[in-house]
Structure 1
Amino acid sequence: MNRSHRRFLPFLALGSVAAAALTGCGQDLNQPWAGPYVNVTAYPYFDFGAAAAGQSHTVLGFVVADPEEPCTPSWGGYYGLEEAGTTLRMEEQIAALREAGGDVVVSFGGAARDELATACADPDALLGAYRQVLDRYAVPVADFDVELNDLEDPAANQRRAEAVARLQEERSAEAPLEVWVTLPVSPAGLSEDGENLVAQMLAAGVDLAGVNVMTMNYSESRSSGQSMVDASEEAARAAHGQVRELWAAAGQELSEEQAWNRLGLTPMIGVNDVPGEVVDLEAAAQLNEFAREQGVGRMSFWSLNRDRTCTAEHGDPAEANDFCSGLEQEAGEFTRVLGRGFGD
């Protein structure tokens, strides 16, 4: 997500479009899911094992390159995997989520540090770094949040694509690796760099579950007077068309329904980083309804840490921070609203 490190399953009732697609021909649909991002390195440390209990998916961000050892994975550039086990209680909290019936998604990248493929130029070492994380936490879904300088590095994007394709090849049919890429978006859709990254993934042979677009922080790309919901729906429709074109260019024709299924939406709840941009509970409900009607494959948000009302210790609620939404709400209310219609 475009935030600093201190910030930054199946439908119960499918929308009519998605339900119709289940009986169609062509590529199978992925099972849609909802799951919030968690900023695992925010301090004070967040008890996501308790806060996310009951969610089918919880997206843990972010694994990045160690600043001193570029081919070594770390959480946020601050905690090696061993240290995360003790300081962040990583394995303990993941176990708690699984005991509650859910599972985790590990997100590589984010805005604050170098994604592993950017820092690590050795393809075999890069593959080993990814494998180390996925094996350690027995991860069934990997998310690659690629933005800013990482997104503008085609050589790194090619290394990532080739490594991810090899990781999927290593998995058995009984335990496949689901892969998403998370990319910035404007109401005009993905940037040229974003399209190129997706094309590189597909050309490398990655079985890409979908493209998750960050429907947040639009700044000047949002028209004057345009609501956050309208901007997000416009962005989603533009990205949907791009998804169809990108898969077709890779020799994989997608129907309208299949392309929606390969799209994810991730708003930033409450007060966004850009002044004047706010996603309130009414907007969240509208986005959830839009997602279900279109049959999108994924609904996430930034972040579970923020899904509560601010208190005096959090500072000015009109300014985005890592620990609360800036709005009056019940704790966990955005999780319930955005996840409605998704889940076990």
Structure 2
Amino acid sequence: MAGPDLAHGTDDDAAPHLPVRGCSARGPRRLGALGLLSAAGLALTGCGDQHEPWFGGYVNVTSYPWFDFGAEAAGQSRTVLGFVVADPEEPCKPSWGGYYGLDEAEETLRMEKQIAVLREAGGDVVVSFGGAAGNELATACTDPDRVLAAYRTVLDRYDVRVVDFDIELDDLEDQEANERRAEVLLRLQEERKEPLEIWATLPVAPHGLDQDSVDVVALMLAAEVDLAGVNLMTMNYSESKPAGQSMAAASMEAARSAHGQLTALWGAAGQDLSAEEVWHRIGLTPMIGVNDVPGEVVELDAAAELGEFARDQGVGRLSYWSLNRDRPCTAEDGDPAEANDFCSGLEEEAGEFTRVLGEGFVG
């Protein structure tokens, strides 16, 4: 059954309100059929203090040769480490990329040592669960208690206060997994002594979020998860981007479209947020340089344009894929016209995208 009406428009001219702070009212928990996602059926959610806007690139921690993020990301306020997925042999056990258990990650990737270096430099890490490869834990593991234990193990081991759930492909389409994840995330927030900032990272097109992505957000709000925001993967548009439209223009259109949808979703959850408040619950994540879709390229000028848009709108988060790629290609990297894990495919100084996108954000 259809969820709330998700008009694509925005209310950019609405008078700004103060952030919603300290709300505690909650109705009964209601999950299951999306027919429950009406204004009357959704509980009041997402009422915690608003986070400070932040900037931080993703790192593909398991790509080889391994990336020294402890050194390369020093000075960034946050670094997003991807991806924790289910162990292929033990679906309720967390692993990095399906390759390394947590102990193996310390031995091989120097995970804790690199995190310590970042923190000593004044930064911190975000752990991203899911991604395009492997199975997210709530998809692979059908026991909610064991999913909870797996998430808890990762958060406790790395002392994490901000988490990112990159839900795409098969994970995105799995309704039971999305319900299970939402219920477990509420339990995880309730059991922790300090607030846990949770972001849902979802694919987007210039016309906005598709129905599967809308359902993921709606289910989290229905479960009463205090959702910090929705991070839009502004990349790889393929046929959804009109011919001739620039990547920057497509990304800004996608953000505006999603803004209208998210306004409706939080409104259906009992929160009539101002345009400013909804922008604060949106993140943007471009893929720098050559994208996976042929012909789609985010150059430095486009990154600067998108960064300025993010600052002007007051988004709560700006990330990018990935730190590993923020350098020019060498002969060993292969054809620069094809996307790879190790370079942008553009003539640039190493670190240029980090500098351009991070301008004006904390860190």
Could you tell me the TM-score, scaled by structure 2's length?
A: 0.87
Map of 1:165 onto structure 2: 186
Which amino acid in the other structure matches residue 209 of structure 2?
Answer: L
Aligned-partner Cα distance in 1 for 2:353–2:362 = 15
Aligned counterparts, 1:10-49, within 5 A: 21=16, 24=18, 26-27=20-21, 29-49=50-70
Aligned to 2:106: 85
Unaligned runs of 5+ in 2: 1-11, 22-48
SS at match of 2:258: helix
> What secondary structure does 2:80 align onto?
strand
Give the superposition deviation at 1:170.
1.2
Query: What displacement does 1:151 show?
Result: 0.4
Separation in 1, partners of 2:77, 2:290: 26
Quick one: which of 193, 201, 208 aligns to 1:189? 208
**Amino acid of the residue matched to residue 18 of structure 2?**
G
**Shift of the alpha carbon at 1:31?**
1.1
CA distance in 1, matches of 2:18, 2:336: 47
Q: Which residue of 1 aligns with 2:7?
A: none
Q: How big is the shift at 1:26?
A: 3.8
- Find the aligned partners of 2:50 and 2:155 in 1 and give their Cα distance: 24
Aligned to 1:57: 78
State the identity as a percent.
74
Structural mapping, 1:91-102, within 5 Å: 91-102=112-123
Q: Is the 8 A contact 2:130 2:136 kept in 1?
A: yes
Matches within 5 A, 1:127-206: 127-172=148-193, 175-206=194-225
Once residues 277 and 89 of structure 2 are traced to their aligned partners in structure 1, the CA distance between those partners, rounded to angstroms, is: 42
C-alpha distance in structure 1 between counterparts of 2:91 and 2:173, whole Å: 18
Provide the residue aligned with 1:9 in structure 2.
Answer: none
Q: CA separation in 1, counterparts of 2:85 and 2:196? A: 19
Bigger radius of gyration = 2
Amino acid at match of 1:36: G
Instruction: Report Cα offsets for 1:290-342 as digits up to 9, x if no partner.
Output: 00000000000000000000000001101000000000111111001101100
> Does 2:135 match 1:117?
no
Query: Which residue matches 2:299?
Result: 280
Q: Which residue of 2 aligns with 1:307?
A: 326
DSSP-derived class of the 1:160 partner: helix
**Residue 235, structure 1, aligned to residue 249, structure 2:** no
Matched, 1:336 2:337: no
How high is the TM-score relative to the length of structure 1?
0.92
Runs of 4+ in 1 over 3 A off after TM superposition: 25-29
Deviations along 1:196-235, one digit per CA (max 9) or x if unpaired, are: 0001001111000000000000000000100001100000
Distance 1:342 1:86, change over 3 A: same
Superposition deviation, residue 252 in structure 1? 1.7
> Is 1:270 the equivalent of 2:289?
yes
Letter in 2 for 1:92: K
Give the Å deviation of 1:30: 2.6
The Cα RMSD (Å) is 1.1
Deviations 1:126-161 (A, max 9, x none): 000000000000001000000000000010001100
**Residue identity matched to 1:179:** I
- Aligned residue for 2:71, secondary structure, equals helix
How many Å separate the matches in 1 of 2:272 and 2:201?
22
Count of residues in Structure 1 that have an aligned counterpart in Structure 2: 323
Deviation at 1:245, TM superposition (A): 0.6
Distance verdict in 2 for CA 1:165–1:313, change over 3 Å: same
Distance in 2 separating the partners of 1:66 and 1:152:
20
Distance 1:25 1:266 in 2: 23
Q: CA deviation at 1:25?
A: 5.8
Task: State yes or no: 1:73 paired with 2:67.
Answer: no
- Write the distance in 2 (CA, Å) between the matches of 1:35 and 1:26: 25
- Could you tell me how far 1:251 is from its partner in structure 2? 1.1
Question: In 2, Cα distance between the equivalents of 1:56 and 1:90?
Answer: 18
